[in-house]
Amino acid sequence: MDWLAELAPELQLLILEAVDDFSDCAAVSLATPRLGLLAFGHDLARFKDPLFAVAMQQQLAQRTRSKGEQQTPVTEAILRKYSADRRARQEHFPWLERVSPALCLSTGIRGLGSRRFEFWRLQRGDEPGALLRERSLQRGTIWHFTGEAGAERQVRTEYATGEVQLFEGEKGAERLVQFYEGELGAERCVRREVAGRVYFYEGEKGAEAVVRVATTETRLKAMRVTELREECGRLGLVTTGVKADLVARLRAYRSAPVPQCIPR
């Protein structure tokens, strides 16, 4: 019987807000789906977090497995998906470690001064696994990676401004394939740099159209040294050197196959 249904909705929400463990949130939602929908509809953080879905999967598996059967593990694919989610938070790592001690996520800091980075990686027991993401503590830029440990390649860059870049290619030879800007869920293609040309787009997400084409070389030569250094810094490149060095660095960085916008 749903005893909480007799309480005012405001009191029910206060009770749900006090449930701070993902496993408990999932258990409540499965026991009384109405409460889960109430929490979700009022944007309670724990019920909107991507780890809530992981907890739901585990709770459902726990109810269907035989007595004595081991707990359903959190898979590498789930951890990689969570790490790539903008809503992911490192303060939730202890929960992951508790429900999946053999395979979870770990974090740390590397570098000094303005080049300090927070990194996330897979953790297999006591052994560190593949790098999943890095974040610049100074600029807030986040780099996402895929691949096995030692062969991780960059696949996405997210800037504090909301801009997003997608990359393809093997480790050390990644190339830019898309540049986005806009609010989360409505990111639109605004630029692609392909084979020496820069394609500029306008239009809403899914309806972008080319409005201007310029050569990369012309654009780079027209930029001032301060602008070139800012561009290098934004892309995670070395920012020292004279203008010729900066132009050469950016020229070598930019290469992609086709100009069509690729749906995200």
Main-chain phi, psi angles of 197, to 5 degrees: -120, 150
pLDDT per residue as tens digits for the range 7-22: 888 888 888 888 888 8
* Side-chain half-sphere CA neighbours of 114 within 13 A: 5
Above 50 in pLDDT, residue 247? yes
Mean pLDDT value of segment 184-210: 74
Residues in the chain: 264
Report the alpha-carbon angle 191-158-193, nearest 5: 20
- Measured distance CA(108)–CA(92) in Å, rounded: 14
Of the two residues 233 and 142, the one the predictor is more confident about is 142
Q: How many helices (H) and strands (E) does the chain have?
A: 10, 10
pLDDT confidence of residue 148: 92
Give the domain ranges of the chain: 3-64, 76-160, 189-264
CATH number, domain 189-264, options 1.10.3470, 1.10.720, 2.60.40, 3.30.1450: 1.10.720
**What pLDDT does residue 70 have?**
58
CA angle (110 as vertex; 241, 177 as ends), nearest 5: 60
Average pLDDT on 164-172 reads: 81
**64 vs 121 pLDDT, higher one:** 121
**pLDDT exceeds 50 at position 263:** no
pLDDT digits (tens, 9 = 90+) for 53-104: 888 877 777 776 655 555 556 888 889 988 988 888 888 899 888 888 889 9
Give dist(CA 150, CA 129) in Å, integer. Answer: 9
* pLDDT at position 31: 84
pLDDT at 1: 54
For residue 78 the two structure tokens come to: 């789930």
Query: Is the distance from CB of 122 to CB of 97 less than 8 angstroms?
Result: no
With tokens 């724990």, the residue in question is: 46
Q: How far apart are CA 238 and CA 258, in angstroms?
A: 27
pLDDT score at 68: 56
End-to-end CA distance of the chain: 45
Q: Is the pLDDT of residue 2 over 80?
A: no
Which pair of structure tokens corresponds to residue 18?
């006090």
Q: What is the H or E stretch that residue 230 is in?
A: helix 225-234
